Amino acid sequence: MKPGTIVAAALLIILAALPLLTQAFDQRYLLSVGTRIVIWSIAAVSLNMILGYGGLVSFGHAAFFGIGGYAVGILSAEGIQSGWVQWPVALGASILWAALVGALSLRTRGVYFIMITLAFAQLVYYLASGLAGYGGDDGLNISRSRFSGLIDLRDKATFYWLCFALLCATLWFCGRLANSRFGYVLRGAKSNELRMMALGFPVFRYRLVACIIAGAFGGLAGILLANEGAYVSPAMMSWVKSGDLIVIVVLGGIGTLFGPLYGAIAFFALEEMLKPLLDLVHKGWGEYWQIVFGPLLVLVALYARGGMASLLKARG
């Protein structure tokens, strides 16, 4: 087996057993970090579908956190607690949003694409801030989605395993997608868009569908994020979160299946470790953990172009 496969398999096994491990070592806080890592991984994998395989640098992917989350939140606030209603509505809203943003932004290229996706995400952000009836800037406390009798999301371990299963499904789908006819068209268009058009591929249509797929999985992550904290707020879709998602994908390895997972783990692990470490050096410095994180990113950009996934490959 290739070292990359071994590392990925080991990571998945550890993640699968995480609730048991945190219980055994009585580190319940770690389970909540783990849940967030898994949810963010779903979002990062979905961003990687368009950014990594499609070469489309979307700077507005956190909008799907918000749309998925707020769909759940608003329905919950209106008294509809059933996940059977909330989740399909949230996914439908994410798909619609992805179709709208994709249809308009895919007419632009390069830096304009980045800016227009950012602009659309900001639009949703300010819209959510303006929803005074749903908490405005302060956000909204919600109760978790109910799947009566089937699964209780209030149980931390159960919820974690649900998220983990959905991450596995997302990874499975993304892996199949990457090597499907569709995936090859998407990757071909990243390599040479004009050539693909000259070959007879309506590239725009394929990219739009890719955006919609990525948006649906992004929305799924949003649903889970809202349920994780029992809370939604505009902050979950600020442009900083969109940037974090890009950082995770780049750090882990653009266009690799497990890269986004590595990136998410590294991102949150560094955040959790650097904060107390810096606080140890000097009280209060922990808040500025990104001063250390930033240069680390620069090193990755300079010396590990393919991200963490490429390091594993190089060893083999």
Partner 1 sequence: MSEPLLSTDRLVKRFGGLLATDNVTIDVRPGEIHALIGPNGAGKTTLVGQLTGNLTPDSGTIHFAGRDVTRLPADARVRLGLGRSFQITSVLREFSALENVALAMQAHDGHSFRFLADVRKNTARTDAARRGLAAVGLEPRATAAAAALSHGEQRQLEIAMALAGAPKLLLLDEPMAGMGAEESQRMVELLRGLKRQCGMLLIEHDMDAVFALADRITVLVYGRVLASGAPDAIRADPEVRQAYLGEETG
Q: Which two tokens stand for residue 268?
A: 């949150």
- Shortest CA distance to 181 belongs to which of 161, 217, 209, 157? 209
DSSP string, 211-228: HHHHHHHHHHHHHHHHHH
Q: Whole-number minimum distance, CB 81 to partner 1, in Å? A: 33
Query: Which CB, 196 or 248, lies closer to partner 1?
Result: 196
- Sign, CA dihedral 86-88-91-92, equals negative
Q: Whole-number minimum distance, CB 199 to partner 1, in Å? A: 4
Q: Whole-number minimum distance, CB 49 to partner 1, in Å? A: 11
Cβ atoms within 10 A of the Cβ of 291, count?
Answer: 11
Query: Which CB, 63 or 203, lies closer to partner 1?
Result: 203
Query: Which CB, 193 or 271, lies closer to partner 1?
Result: 193
DSSP state of 232: E
Q: Whole-number minimum distance, CB 183 to partner 1, in Å? A: 8
Rounded to 10°, the helix 259-281/307-315 angle is 110
Q: Interface with partner 1 by CB under 8 A: which residues? A: 173, 176-177, 179-185, 187-188, 191-192, 194-203, 206, 209, 213
Query: Which CB, 158 or 180, lies closer to partner 1?
Result: 180
- Sign, CA dihedral 189-193-197-202, equals positive
Query: Which CB, 216 or 248, lies closer to partner 1?
Result: 216
Kindly state the greatest CA–CA separation across the chain.
Answer: 61
Assess contact for 151 and 87: CB atoms under 8 A.
no
Q: Whole-number minimum distance, CB 246 to partner 1, in Å? A: 21
Q: Which residues pair with 173 in a beta bridge?
A: none
Q: Whole-number minimum distance, CB 241 to partner 1, in Å? A: 27
Query: Which CB, 28 or 107, lies closer to partner 1?
Result: 107
Assess contact for 40 and 264: CB atoms under 8 A.
yes
